Amino acid sequence: MSKLDELIAELCPDGVEYRKLKDVTEMQRGTSLTKKNATEGIYPVVSGGTEPAFYCDIYNRENETITVAGSGAGAGYVQYWNEPIFVCDAFSIKGKEDNLTKYIYYCLSNMQDKIFATKTGGGIPHVYISSIENFVIPIPPMPVQQEIVRILDNFTELTAELTAELTARRKQYEYYRDLLLTFGDEVEWKTLGEIARYAISRIEAREVNAETYVGVDNLLPDKMGKTTSNYVPLEGRLIKYDIGDILIGNIRPYLKKIWLATDAGGTNGDVLVIRINDRKAVLPKYLYFVLSSDNFFVYNMQNAKGAKMPRGDKTAIMKYPIPVPPLEEQERIVAILDRFDALCNDLTSGIPAEIEARQKQYEYYRDKLLSFKEVTA
C-alpha cells in the first residue's frame, strides 16, 4: 500500500467533501496596466494570453499564485506561479482555510477544458471569476493534499528536466542553422518581397475547424509549429493559407511564432501568411528556415510599430534580405536542418516523444489522484 493509500484509509476512508471554489479560495481580479504606462522590469505581466504580455518593475501578487487568463483566445488558461507577478487582464486564486494553493492548481488544471468552455463574448472571448467560482473540487485533509502535490510535482519536475534538455538541443540546432545560412557575395541576395507576397485570398469562417484555424495563441513559440485551436470564429471571412505557406505571428508577444503550413485553412489579421512566388526558385522549407532565424526576429522586433500592442511592419518585413543560393544548395541545407529539426521536434521519436508520454502519464495520474468519493458535510 502506498503512502497516499495509507493516508486516505486513515483520514478519509469514506470519501471527502466537495466544495465550491469561492468557499475554499481567495479569488481576486487583476489591475489594468498597459506597456505604455509601465516601466520595464523583471516581473511578468499576466494578461489574456498563455505567456506574459510584457515585464514591468512592480508586482501585485507574490509567493504562490494561480492565474486564469481573462480574455482573448487564451481566456481561461490556468497557470501556477511561485514568484512575484503583476496580474492584469486575468484573475488570481489562492487557497485559504489551510488548503494548499498548489493542490488547488492541480484541481483546476484537471478542469482546464471545463474552464475554457465558460468563455463568453463574440469578438473577444472572456472568462470571469463568476464563470468558475461555483465549480466544486474535492477537499481532502491537508496530509492527503500534501502527498498528492508531492506525487504530481515529481511528474512535472521530470518533464521540466526533459524540456531543459530539449532546449539545449534546439540551441545546438539553431547554431548549425545560422551557420548553414550564413552567406556572402557568393550567392544572389533578394528582398523577401522579390520572392514572396502576402496571401490575399479569403475563406469563410464556417469552412474551418479547430484543426485548420490558426490564431496567434495556437501558434507555438520558438518555431515549434502549432496546436489545435481552443477558439474558432463562427462567422466572417478569414485569410486563407495553403500547404507550403509560412505563417508568422504579427503582434507582440507572438512575433517569434512561425509555422510552415502542412495543411490548408484560415487565420486572422494577427498572423501573416507569406506565399512564395516561384517554388522552383525558392523552396518553402528553405525560406522557412531563413525566417526562423533570430536575425529575422530581431529585425521584425526593431521594425514593429504601435505602442500598446506593437505589430510587425508589413512593408519593412518585405524588405528583409534573403540569400538565394542555387536550388541544389537549398535542398542540401534543408536536408541537413530537417535531420536536426526531427531530433528536436518530431513527436514520434526523441525527447519530444518522451515529454509527450510523460505528460499523458501525468494527466492520467492527476485525474486518478483527484477522484474521490464524495461525502456530505
What cell was used for 364? 492520467
Neighbour tally for 87: CB within 10 Å: 24
Domain boundaries of the chain, sorted by first residue: 1-10+142-186+325-377, 17-139, 188-323
Domain 17-139 fold:
Adenine-n6-DNA-methyltransferase TaqI; Chain A, domain 2 (3.90.220)
Tens-digit pLDDT profile for residues 265-302: 999 888 999 999 999 999 999 999 999 888 888 888 88
- pLDDT tens digits for range 100-127: 999 999 999 999 999 999 998 767 889 9
190-202 pLDDT, tens digit each = 999 999 999 999 9
Question: By the 8 A CB rule, do 121 and 96 touch?
Answer: no
For residues 307 and 161, the model is more confident at 161
Identical fold between 17-139 and 188-323: yes
Mean pLDDT of the chain: 88
Q: Look at residue 276 in the predicted model and tell me its pLDDT.
A: 96
* Predicted TM-score of the model (pTM): 0.61
Share of the chain above pLDDT 90, in %: 51
Assigned CATH topology for domain 188-323? Adenine-n6-DNA-methyltransferase TaqI; Chain A, domain 2 (3.90.220)
| Cα torsion angle, 286, 288, 292, 297, sign | positive
Specify whether the CB–CB gap between 91 and 133 falls below 8 A: no
